[in-house]
Structure 1
């Protein structure tokens, strides 16, 4: 253990200091810094903090007061502003008030670029990305240290790629800028090296960046031209160099190619359960923004039952008919996992994630399937219990007690749990029943899927141990 006692958060080390946060003796959440040995070199005292650069870090002392400190915590400069941003080449972005625009100050607090920006990022290599957002439209541009525009503020996006190169984006649909951008490459002088043709551009590394265009990915050099001696990978979302190989990522699936483009390795699409039973991974991609990896089972003796099972798995995996060229207002990705298999019972986890462009976050979904691989039957929660048992009341009592006594459930909305539903989501393993809820149902989004783990031994008196469901995995 690096620190003398556990703390809430520790950042990566920069210049021999790691920012950390925890409650101070007064019970307030504050930030401080650790030495490389894990000792507290700057005590918990700041309301916010940043990593060290050039031997200095920006910290918030209190409302409307920020400071630059050295590596021992001594203040170098104090700024009485509503906000002060990260340090970049003797410039810091600042904002006078909550509804004011951003400008830049020097290390002494003198205004060097007047406030006019809705976004003002830190300077790197004499350049800073800014945005003059207006009337719900982005107007990204690139300025020098005097505030002169190197790239005029009229673009939907602008990304620093490193090595004095930038990805400049125009909106795919000007009426819906939140749908994303197509990118061109520009240099430090603001000169455009390519057309606006790329859907994705990576950071430059040793003169090489990866790009994606029209369902293929490849590498470009600093001139914006395709890099020699490296392949084009069809169907990949992105590519990266890993030693002598090219790693390709497509919808969370990984494959490796040699530098001539020959496939070296790809992920397996068959999950064997027994010599007879297996789960096949299938892919459904009707549109670039909609892709689902879904399961199909194989090996059931009854072919009609297997056909019906696989049809239902498609439905539960949220397969939809979507036009190839339709521009969706959202992205959807689906996937699955085999979470449990014993005797004849297969438990599959079907995951989904829907994200509407411009939203703060997407919405995940999770469905568990309990399938008998002998007869193709799907089981519900009620199938686990004796028919005359009031299992809902029993489970409600157990869950209520867990909420009251277990600190891990302190994050739940007070009084939100009202009891399980008739179609309550659940899953099982060899020894436990798990009852779970969707995000926001009884807790905040950050809590994910609140789950209650109940040992079978605690409810053995109401389990129907002669039921088909129970016997399928016991």
Structure 2
């Protein structure tokens, strides 16, 4: 399941993704996170929606409309997102830098530039794109982030919180966890009500979501409590760790370095501590770990503590509908590389052999699986489903209202209930005739995937071949030894960033992820191509020979860092000067200068970007140079 995050095209501004690992109940949970984005101005001047929904209308009164599905389209203005209906027709024109799934309240979060808003099923803004981030709506509320911090809005966009907070979670049962810094430094946690008011003051050092009218909080070191929505203590537990309730049981740990067991909500020990990791019970079963010395051995227990699946697996995931994925390490000496999975039931029976790289959650009696270079569906018995789509490549499929969504090899497509494909991403990007940029896929194994551009329509065929060969090299299309398990994965993609006159600017994105690392490392390259001559231009080609462009640009960047609050994240004293071949790209009226992660700022900020209008460089730009003429002709000062 993708939870609204699509693996399709890399976008401008490019999200910085990575994996985050954190401990819970002795187990290490790994999730994909959005760390940040590089700033960029929107590339569309026209907004086909252009309306804000009246605040006088209530969410419940919104008229019905066909359900819509997000899609990505490669265009000459970049990779843009819009929405289709169930027949595959465009319902909201591609215009967003990212578009998320529609939610139960019939709103979808969209991104324009580096800001997010929310639209309804008619493509009208309900929440203007003014926030740095908007979390999924729950119980008619969303936590948003702006320059001040976290706030709560309702699903008409009305702000509810009277002040910003350091953190606000999602609403569950009328309460949302919030954080504010305590007097002694560490953050303290409390709960907001649906009106955005503090229902329970920030007095806890940890706080979890409510479920069935109860939540686990940590009141101080070595003590947890179970509270009700008013903050009344229902039970206290003098332990180093207490997990969330599940089926009336809570995982606990007496000492910080002790084993895990389970107790009931009154604090009575039901399963004595004997596990090195323990997750909450669900539907009568819980995943536990008995491994030692960082070597996991997962199993499944019932509520008596007896194993129904013996603890002998390197990984284990609940799939729903009474099914579990059990995994064995691809390379036991390097378990961090990942596992191969089999399907099992909650009675301990293996229903398949170990042949899947992924098994999705069950829904309507089926789950999607990836095996080698094929993604298809299986039923609850592990048998291949013949009536559902099967696709080449690795990824996931899921039922999505009236359609089937397929996220395979980082491309998003849709099928109807009969298996007919209703949406397929485009592989050709038309420019000014006769030029076309065509997407080519290179996937020598399941851990190496690159989509790279190839140009068609150039008059000089030899120049075209030379440019295309260079684009392949810059896109990291290279021989990969067959049958060899790599230590890292690599994905690459591209976008048409700018096209005017004879100039084409391509952005080539890469992401190198060493298996087991906290996150990978993104990379970028910008290629400025003259479609007439086949020449590629560097930064120095933009300026008059002998001009001090390095110093001029460096001075402008330094001034921005010192005077513009949006660059407050830059490491103090880290910027010295730009390189003569600094990472850059041009647009119609500006030069964009970028820096790789860590060079002048934290990883989470992505690629810090500085936009310099050409008017500030007018005296050193070379108006007679081939680079400038390729997209502007003669420069007018």
TM-score band w.r.t. shorter chain: over 0.9
Higher RCO (C-alpha under 8 Å, 6+ residues apart): 2
Q: How many residues align?
A: 474
SS at match of 1:386: coil
Deviates more, 1:364-373 or 1:59-68: 59-68
Partner of 2:560: 402
In the superposition, relative to structure 1, how do residues 391 and 98 fare at CA in structure 2: closer, same or farther (>3 Å)? farther
Structure 1, residues 312-337: CA drift from partner, whole Å, max 9, x if none?
Answer: 10110011101332221111110001
8 Å CA contact retained: 2:443, 2:450: yes
For 1:99 and 1:24, how far apart are their aligned partners in 2?
Answer: 27
Q: 1:4 aligns with which of 154, 161, 164?
A: 161
8 Å CA contact retained: 2:161, 2:195: no
For 1:452 and 1:83, how far apart are their aligned partners in 2?
Answer: 46
For 2:294 and 2:452, how far apart are their aligned partners in 1?
Answer: 38
In the superposition, relative to structure 1, how do residues 383 and 138 fare at CA in structure 2: closer, same or farther (>3 Å)? same
For 2:316 and 2:602, how far apart are their aligned partners in 1?
Answer: 33
User: In the alignment, does 2:377 pair up with 1:216?
Assistant: no
Q: 2:605 aligns with which of 421, 427, 447?
A: 447
Moved segments of 4+, more than 6 Å: 24-27
For 1:428 and 1:97, how far apart are their aligned partners in 2?
Answer: 58
Structure 1, residues 326-349: CA drift from partner, whole Å, max 9, x if none?
Answer: 221111110001111112211111
1:225-236 equivalence runs, <5 A: 225-227=383-385, 229-236=387-394
For 2:569 and 2:259, how far apart are their aligned partners in 1?
Answer: 36
Partner of 1:51: 209
SS at match of 1:314: helix
8 Å CA contact retained: 2:394, 2:446: no
SS at match of 2:207: coil
In the superposition, relative to structure 1, how do residues 435 and 102 fare at CA in structure 2: closer, same or farther (>3 Å)? farther
In the superposition, relative to structure 1, how do residues 116 and 395 fare at CA in structure 2: closer, same or farther (>3 Å)? farther
Per-residue deviation, 1:386: 2.4
Partner of 2:259: 101
For 2:280 and 2:159, how far apart are their aligned partners in 1?
Answer: 31
Partner of 2:312: 154
Structure 1, residues 45-79: CA drift from partner, whole Å, max 9, x if none?
Answer: 33332111111112233333322221112222233
For 1:456 and 1:78, how far apart are their aligned partners in 2?
Answer: 65
Structure 1, residues 390-418: CA drift from partner, whole Å, max 9, x if none?
Answer: 22122222222222222222222222222
Partner of 2:582: 424
User: In the alignment, does 2:317 pair up with 1:178?
Assistant: no
In the superposition, relative to structure 1, how do residues 420 and 114 fare at CA in structure 2: closer, same or farther (>3 Å)? farther
8 Å CA contact retained: 1:102, 1:115: yes
Per-residue deviation, 1:159: 0.2
Q: 1:38 aligns with which of 196, 200, 211?
A: 196
TM-align CA RMSD: 2.2
For 2:281 and 2:504, how far apart are their aligned partners in 1?
Answer: 55
SS at match of 1:113: strand
For 2:187 and 2:613, how far apart are their aligned partners in 1?
Answer: 37
Partner of 2:26: none
8 Å CA contact retained: 1:233, 1:261: no
SS at match of 1:297: strand
Structure 1, residues 406-452: CA drift from partner, whole Å, max 9, x if none?
Answer: 22222222222222123211112122222111112222221211222
SS at match of 1:104: strand
Deviates more, 1:11-20 or 1:23-32: 23-32
Partner of 2:430: 272
In the superposition, relative to structure 1, how do residues 371 and 294 fare at CA in structure 2: closer, same or farther (>3 Å)? same
Deviates more, 1:314-323 or 1:458-467: 458-467
For 1:46 and 1:454, how far apart are their aligned partners in 2?
Answer: 47
In the superposition, relative to structure 1, how do residues 80 and 402 fare at CA in structure 2: closer, same or farther (>3 Å)? farther
Per-residue deviation, 1:107: 2.0
Q: 1:120 aligns with which of 278, 290, 299?
A: 278
Q: 2:460 aligns with which of 288, 302, 306?
A: 302
SS at match of 1:255: strand
Q: 2:500 aligns with which of 307, 326, 342?
A: 342
For 1:52 and 1:461, how far apart are their aligned partners in 2?
Answer: 63
For 2:587 and 2:180, how far apart are their aligned partners in 1?
Answer: 37
User: In the alignment, does 2:535 pair up with 1:377?
Assistant: yes
1:280-291 equivalence runs, <5 A: 280-291=438-449
Q: 2:301 aligns with which of 114, 139, 143?
A: 143
For 1:115 and 1:313, how far apart are their aligned partners in 2?
Answer: 58
8 Å CA contact retained: 1:288, 1:324: no
Partner of 2:485: 327
For 2:187 and 2:476, how far apart are their aligned partners in 1?
Answer: 43
Structure 1, residues 63-110: CA drift from partner, whole Å, max 9, x if none?
Answer: 333222211122222333333222222222233444333333332334
8 Å CA contact retained: 1:271, 1:278: yes
Per-residue deviation, 1:143: 1.4
Partner of 1:202: 360
For 1:74 and 1:160, how far apart are their aligned partners in 2?
Answer: 33
In the superposition, relative to structure 1, how do residues 194 and 14 fare at CA in structure 2: closer, same or farther (>3 Å)? same
8 Å CA contact retained: 1:287, 1:323: no
User: In the alignment, does 2:572 pair up with 1:436?
Assistant: no
Partner of 2:232: 74
In the superposition, relative to structure 1, how do residues 100 and 395 fare at CA in structure 2: closer, same or farther (>3 Å)? farther
Q: Which runs of 5 or more structure 2 residues have no equivalent in the other structure?
A: 1-157, 633-637
In the superposition, relative to structure 1, how do residues 217 and 298 fare at CA in structure 2: closer, same or farther (>3 Å)? same
SS at match of 1:87: coil
Per-residue deviation, 1:27: 7.3
8 Å CA contact retained: 1:15, 1:53: yes
Structure 1, residues 203-223: CA drift from partner, whole Å, max 9, x if none?
Answer: 112322111223222222222
